[in-house]
Amino acid sequence: MLKRLIPAVLALAAVLAWAAPAWAHGRSGSADVRFAQTIAGMELTVVVRASLRVPAPLQVDVVAHDPGRGGRVELTLRPAGAGGSSAAAAEVREDAPGMYPVLLRAERVGPHELEVRAGGERSVLPFDLLVPAAPPWEVVVYLAFACAALALVVALVAAAQARRGAAGAGAVAFVVATAVAFTAGGLSPWFVPPVPDGAPAVPEGVRPLGKPNAQPLIEVEPRRPGAYAEFRLRVTLFDGSTGRPADDLAEHHGALSHVVVTSQDGTYFRHVHPLRVAPGVHEVRLRAGEAGRHLVYAEFERADAGGQLVSGAFTVGSPPPAAGSARVARPEGKRPEPERPEGARPVLKPARPVAGRPVTLTLDTGRTAVQPWLGMAGHLIVRSRDGGYLGHVHEAASMTAPGERPPDESVARYGPRLRFTFTFPRPGRHLAWIQYVRNYAIVTVPYVIDVEEGSAR
Ligand SMILES: [Cu+2]
């Protein structure tokens, strides 16, 4: 009996060892793809839902976190190379944050482009359309159960005909097949998941994290935006060795790139997600605040190169005016800066944070049903007063392990308390902004934290 089991178990191990090699940035075939986009005055997250097969309808949700003045958001899905495209549009309503589903059609797996158009702006987002592949162990389990059923029938028929030899063989085959099925099923959580259909092949000899970082260029247009005037901020990424555009950004916290713009004094704060207007070129339209120096931070991740945080600066307004000249007045009818919501007072523990030691910041939002934004229930962005340092921390309760699926925008199960743990590297005054989403709308809570010098230990 045992002798017969051993070859079966060895054969099973051989089949399962035929596990596919790990592939770059191992996104599972059952994960959604997210692109946060700041377009036409709206803050959107475009979510390409995972599909189980192709050809089939493909659901894309346009999540309007800040619908601004609203408008039509046109989506076009285009497979790389030949193949027909599919288009549809969502009508985002002014002051109606929420989810706007759109149905496109996917014809095949592999590299695709999703074009997003709104208000005369356009972004082209490359992604791989994946479909989960059947893992080898699943095939083994199904085959083994089929064999077990067949063996059971043979054994019963043979027993009914009083053929003891055949009945015994059938019974043994049934036991072996059942053992194989349960062994494969029971061990499956430890097997390497199969490469999804449509995933890019990893060329031989390519090491993960083997690419150099991208070289950034941060520019604004016009070079000196007027106070309260519209301007364009552009992040251009090059490959340092070839000089060609670095156009291989991976999805990083639900976007290709994240940009934070703050005025030196911190009264102006924008957390936005540029459009990919050309290979390696990421652009966002913004409206300036008061005149003065502004700091820009861009966070992104080049595939196989790891995450990067780069910074730049620009000045709003004309050169310092002569004494006594008039300041540019704030235009009427502009929406005021977001107010601090009722009850939102962060609590620090220890109350006087010390440089180099962890501090826990808890924000009581006063409400439950906080929703994730960019995969987290809350974001804490910290800047030193001079702007030389920027930190980004995620809410503790909503952190996911690598490979785990981030919570969906529609899941309103966080809060009322959001908790962040952070270590300030240097003492001094720091500006902090806590951001979270409720009823799909982004709430920003500004805060000032004074960090004390660490005593000698
Ligand atoms: Cu961001």
Q: What are the C-alpha distances in Å from 80 to residues 35, 85, 108?
A: 19, 10, 10
Please tell me the distance from the alpha carbon of residue 441 to that of residue 382, in angstroms, as a whole number: 21
CA angle (29, 30, 36) in 5-degree steps: 95
Distance from the CA of 208 to the center of ligand 1, in angstroms?
25
Select from 84, 93, 100, 89 the least CA-distant residue to 47.
Answer: 100
Distance from the CA of 284 to the center of ligand 1, in angstroms?
13
**For residues 35 and 252, is the Cβ–Cβ distance under 8 A?**
no
Composition of the chain by helix, strand, coil, percent to 5: 15, 40, 45
Distance from the CA of 441 to the center of ligand 1, in angstroms?
14
pLDDT at position 9, please?
A: 57
Please tell me the distance from the alpha carbon of residue 216 to that of residue 440, in angstroms, as a whole number: 32
pLDDT at position 1, please?
A: 52
Distance from the CA of 274 to the center of ligand 1, in angstroms?
10
Distance from the CA of 174 to the center of ligand 1, in angstroms?
56
Distance from the CA of 406 to the center of ligand 1, in angstroms?
15
Distance from the CA of 29 to the center of ligand 1, in angstroms?
24
> pLDDT tens for residues 22-66?
444 456 677 899 999 999 999 999 999 998 888 999 999 999 999
Please tell me the distance from the alpha carbon of residue 36 to that of residue 257, in angstroms, as a whole number: 8
Distance from the CA of 283 to the center of ligand 1, in angstroms?
14
Q: Residue 343: helix, strand or coil by DSSP?
A: coil
**For residues 53 and 170, is the Cβ–Cβ distance under 8 A?**
no
- The mean pLDDT values, 10 residues at a time, for the chain of 457 residues are 58 50 54 94 95 91 95 96 90 94 93 96 94 78 86 88 86 88 79 74 63 91 95 95 91 94 95 97 96 96 89 85 52 48 76 93 87 90 94 82 74 86 94 93 92 75
Please tell me the distance from the alpha carbon of residue 133 to that of residue 29, in angstroms, as a whole number: 8
For 151, phi then psi, to 5°, come to -65, -35
Distance from the CA of 10 to the center of ligand 1, in angstroms?
49
pLDDT at position 4, please?
A: 60
Distance from the CA of 108 to the center of ligand 1, in angstroms?
30
pLDDT at position 12, please?
A: 57
The distance from CA 110 to its chain's CA centroid, rounded to whole angstroms, is: 19
pLDDT at position 86, please?
A: 95
DSSP lists the bridge partners of residue 238 as 215, 245
Distance from the CA of 30 to the center of ligand 1, in angstroms?
23
pLDDT at position 212, please?
A: 84
Do 33-129 and 346-451 have matching folds? yes
Please tell me the distance from the alpha carbon of residue 186 to that of residue 141, in angstroms, as a whole number: 10
Distance from the CA of 434 to the center of ligand 1, in angstroms?
12
Distance from the CA of 145 to the center of ligand 1, in angstroms?
48
Q: Residue 216: helix, strand or coil by DSSP?
A: strand
Distance from the CA of 175 to the center of ligand 1, in angstroms?
55
CATH number of 214-316: 2.60.40.1930
CATH number of 33-129: 2.60.40.2550
Please tell me the distance from the alpha carbon of residue 313 to that of residue 298, in angstroms, as a whole number: 11
Distance from the CA of 258 to the center of ligand 1, in angstroms?
4
Query: In this structure, what is the dihedral angle of CA atoms 20, 22, 27, 30, given to the nearest 10 degrees?
Result: 20
Ion ligand 1: residues, Cβ under 5 Å: 258
Please tell me the distance from the alpha carbon of residue 339 to that of residue 444, in angstroms, as a whole number: 8
Please tell me the distance from the alpha carbon of residue 154 to that of residue 167, in angstroms, as a whole number: 7
Distance from the CA of 374 to the center of ligand 1, in angstroms?
7
- Residue ranges of the alpha helices (H) in 161-303? 164-187
Distance from the CA of 9 to the center of ligand 1, in angstroms?
49
Please tell me the distance from the alpha carbon of residue 245 to that of residue 215, in angstroms, as a whole number: 9
Please tell me the distance from the alpha carbon of residue 386 to that of residue 365, in angstroms, as a whole number: 29
Structure tokens, 282: 């990421």
Distance from the CA of 36 to the center of ligand 1, in angstroms?
7
Distance from the CA of 254 to the center of ligand 1, in angstroms?
8
Distance from the CA of 89 to the center of ligand 1, in angstroms?
24
- Residue whose pair of structure tokens reads 């150099």 in the numeric block: 212
Select from 352, 353, 361, 342 the least CA-distant residue to 434.
Answer: 361
- Residue whose pair of structure tokens reads 């921390």 in the numeric block: 393
For 178, phi then psi, to 5°, come to -65, -40
pLDDT at position 446, please?
A: 93
- Residue whose pair of structure tokens reads 């005016």 in the numeric block: 321
The CATH architecture annotation of domain 346-451 reads: Sandwich (2.60)
Structure tokens, 386: 């001079």
Select from 182, 116, 115 the least CA-distant residue to 144.
Answer: 182
Structure tokens, 278: 């050309």
pLDDT at position 84, please?
A: 87
Please tell me the distance from the alpha carbon of residue 216 to that of residue 235, in angstroms, as a whole number: 7
Domain ranges of the chain: 2-22+136-190, 33-129, 214-316, 346-451
Distance from the CA of 88 to the center of ligand 1, in angstroms?
26
Distance from the CA of 273 to the center of ligand 1, in angstroms?
6
Distance from the CA of 2 to the center of ligand 1, in angstroms?
58
Q: Residue 236: helix, strand or coil by DSSP?
A: strand
pLDDT at position 20, please?
A: 40
Before 208, cis peptide (omega within 30)?
Answer: no
pLDDT at position 328, please?
A: 55
